[in-house]
């Protein structure tokens, strides 16, 4: 075997063990009853787990909630991340320090700041309620209203991950030759036109990468939800990852937990494929328009 | 601000808004950590004049186990994970760069997919493995899954760095009679130091912050990593939560990262952006 392949093997073996083995194992486990009822000994049960998944209202509700969370997070993070990237791209005083400070929320452990947000959103003593109070408004249960609590989980997620998106997009901005922007400026294009005609099209691959990456991470949201709301109130913020975790660690039903995780994986694949498909179609359309 | 204004004005306000958005929640934690429980529920003008204290820090640092223990655990685990990841990723990145283009492309795509994968999905099978192998409550055993989870991004980053080196360099070293190990050690790696530093800091941050796997592998309280310890405090009670002590814990848990980000800002940014450009 060539030495260059040998050098690759240890790393590939570990990556395979960590990523592939679990998926194979879940495939097998999802066809077993393996719960407290069987003493956690796997017993084949046909497709019972999968039938249960299809009829499990909590799974589908959590799927809808997770999609809702991911959709709003992704949209806000891309918008705000783009704004941050455009800001950081300009000549700034103390640029290194500014970047470090803007980056800080991304670097902190999620659980640490989830705890912080619990206090910020506290009813009635948190600072956000302090703002409401000084405006003469009554205190609001940011984390106790089933209809709106998910919005505040999005807020905490956007706060934490926008710096990451901003940096990815900043890399894209820095790859755009300054002469192109100058040429457009000389043509008399305003800042908004330059953004639309030059910056956004050239940034598209970076936006796509950031969107795919954040979509996958947001669909798997776990740390933030578990610490900030525990999935409540009334399961209104429960994510699929949290549901899978509860099935495994609280209900001790490994067979069904594996099924939930595979269901989640299928959803993730379908959505990623959809994003790539839409992107491909858009490019095709733009090319067609460019040719005509 | 003694610094002169930037050449093009008009973005001081957005800049302040961006900094405020990022920093206000953290500043709020700092202020909360310095106040007595009674002062936290005071209202009205003048409330800010009373109730300043360091008691929250005393409480957190004298807890059982004391807070520095979690910092130590996370640091040890972070160092072990980073070392193991680099040990495997550097040869793998070199090997990947030397493959035929088709295989290299296919493997890179797989690694990219793995780097994006929401790894929380893997925790159950990894927990089963840990139980089967007797690795529960072994802090440093976590370095193995952490390295496995970090390797995709690490290999991609380092592969891009290898690709940036002129191929003549290694050819010349080969003609000088240097073997593969010598070429790597004395010719290629010294030029890769910036990329290795960026990779190392990203892996360290991942390992420091990882939650679901540490949560399920470790139950002994003196072995907890910082993120799990924080979550455990949070889980203790929803109502009578000692927010001052919480805030002190978030400040103490955040300070090492503030230091890391300020020190290694350049490496972190270049690591993330390299990943975007070449990944």
Whether A138 contacts chain B with CB within 8 A: no
Enumerate residues 53 to 82 of chain A having a beta carbon within 8 A of any beta carbon in chain B: none
Enumerate residues 76 to 105 of chain B having a beta carbon within 8 A of any beta carbon in chain A: 88-89, 91-92, 94-96, 98-99
Whether B266 contacts chain A with CB within 8 A: yes
Peptide bond preceding A87 in cis form (omega within 30 of 0): no
**Is domain B57-278 classified as CATH 3.40.50.720?**
no
User: What pLDDT does residue B240 have?
Assistant: 54
Enumerate residues 160 to 199 of chain B having a beta carbon within 8 A of any beta carbon in chain A: 180
Q: How far is CA B264 from CA A100, B115, B260, in A?
A: 9, 22, 6
User: What pLDDT does residue B45 have?
Assistant: 60
**Interface size between A and B, measured as CB pairs under 8 A:** 259
Is the CB of A18 less than 8 angstroms away from the CB of B149? yes
B144 contacts in chain A (CB < 8 Å): 14
The span from the CA of B11 to the CA of B5, in Å, is 10
Enumerate residues 79 to 98 of chain A having a beta carbon within 8 A of any beta carbon in chain B: 83-84, 87, 90-94, 96-98
What ipTM does the predicted assembly reach? 0.90
User: What pLDDT does residue A279 have?
Assistant: 84
B6 contacts in chain A (CB < 8 Å): 90-93
Residues 6+ apart with CB under 8 A from B249: A112, A115, B60, B67, B230, B233
Longest CA pairwise span in chain B (Å): 79
Question: By C-alpha distance, which of A285, A186, A10, A118 is closest to B233?
Answer: A118
The pLDDT tens digits along chain A (292 residues) read 788 889 999 999 999 999 999 999 999 999 999 888 888 888 999 899 999 999 999 999 999 999 999 999 999 999 999 999 999 888 877 888 888 888 899 999 998 888 889 888 988 888 888 888 888 898 899 999 999 999 999 999 999 999 999 988 988 898 888 888 888 888 888 888 888 888 898 898 899 989 999 999 999 999 999 999 999 899 999 999 999 999 999 999 999 999 999 999 999 999 989 988 988 888 888 888 766 5
Prediction pTM value:
0.91
Can you name the CATH fold of A48-291?
Answer: MetI-like fold (1.10.3720)
Domain ranges of chain A: 48-291
Q: How far is CA A78 from CA A45, A92, A103, A109, A251, in A?
A: 44, 22, 15, 21, 37
A14 contacts in chain B (CB < 8 Å): 88, 144, 147-148, 151
Whether B29 contacts chain A with CB within 8 A: yes
pLDDT band at B273 (very low <50, low <70, confident <90, very high): confident
């Amino acid at each position: 075997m060539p030495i260059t392949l040998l050098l690759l093997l240890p790393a590939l073996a570990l990556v395979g063990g960590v990523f592939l083995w679990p998926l194979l194992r879940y495939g097998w486990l999802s066809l077993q009853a393996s719960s407290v009822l069987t003493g956690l000994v796997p017993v084949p049960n046909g497709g019972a787990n999968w039938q249960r998944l299809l009829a499990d209202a909590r799974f589908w509700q959590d799927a809808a909630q997770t999609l809702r969370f991911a959709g709003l997070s992704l949209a806000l993070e891309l918008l705000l991340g783009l704004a941050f990237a455009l800001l950081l791209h300009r000549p700034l005083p103390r640029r290194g320090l500014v970047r470090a400070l803007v980056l800080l929320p991304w670097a902190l452990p999620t659980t640490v700041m989830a705890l912080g947000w619990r206090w910020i959103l506290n009813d009635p003593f948190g600072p956000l309620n302090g703002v409401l109070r000084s405006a003469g408004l009554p205190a609001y249960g940011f984390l106790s209203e089933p209809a709106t609590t998910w919005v505040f989980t999005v807020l905490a997620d956007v706060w934490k991950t926008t710096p990451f998106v901003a940096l990815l997009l900043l890399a894209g901005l820095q790859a755009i030759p300054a002469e192109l922007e100058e040429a457009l400026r000389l043509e008399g294009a305003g800042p908004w036109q330059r953004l639309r005609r030059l910056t956004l099209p050239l940034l598209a691959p970076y936006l796509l990468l950031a969107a795919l990456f954040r979509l996958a991470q947001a669909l798997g949201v776990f740390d933030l939800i578990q610490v900030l709301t525990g999935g409540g109130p009334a399961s209104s913020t429960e994510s699929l990852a949290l549901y899978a975790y509860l099935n495994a660690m609280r209900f001790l039903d490994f067979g069904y937990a594996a099924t939930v995780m595979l269901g989640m994986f299928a959803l993730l694949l379908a959505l990623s494929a959809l994003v790539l498909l839409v992107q491909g179609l858009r490019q095709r359309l733009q090319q067609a328009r460019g040719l005509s | 601000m003694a610094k002169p204004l930037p050449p093009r004005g008009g973005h001081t306000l957005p800049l302040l808004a961006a900094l405020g958005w990022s920093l206000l929640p953290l500043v709020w934690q700092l202020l909360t950590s310095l106040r007595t429980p009674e002062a936290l529920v005071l209202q009205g003008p003048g409330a800010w004049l009373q109730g300043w204290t360091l008691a929250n820090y005393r409480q957190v640092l004298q807890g059982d186990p004391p807070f520095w223990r979690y910092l130590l655990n996370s640091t040890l685990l972070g160092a072990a994970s980073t070392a193991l990841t680099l040990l495997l990723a550097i040869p793998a990145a070199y090997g990947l760069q030397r493959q035929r283009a088709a295989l290299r492309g296919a493997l890179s795509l797989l690694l990219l997919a793995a780097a994006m994968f929401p790894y929380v999905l893997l925790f159950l099978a990894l927990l089963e493995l840990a139980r089967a192998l007797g690795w529960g409550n072994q802090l440093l055993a976590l370095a193995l899954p952490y390295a496995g989870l970090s390797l995709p991004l690490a290999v991609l980053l380092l592969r891009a760095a290898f690709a940036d080196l002129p191929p003549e360099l290694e050819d010349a070293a080969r003609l000088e009679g240097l073997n593969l190990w010598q070429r790597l050690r004395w010719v290629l790696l010294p030029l890769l130091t910036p990329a290795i530093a960026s990779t190392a800091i990203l892996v360290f941050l991942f390992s420091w912050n990882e939650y679901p796997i540490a949560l399920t592998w470790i139950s002994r309280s003196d072995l907890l990593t910082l993120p799990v310890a924080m979550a455990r405090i949070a889980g203790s009670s929803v109502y009578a939560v000692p927010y001052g002590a919480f805030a002190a814990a978030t400040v103490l848990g955040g300070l090492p990262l503030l230091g890391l980000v300020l020190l290694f800002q350049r490496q972190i940014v270049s690591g993330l952006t390299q990943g975007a450009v070449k990944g």
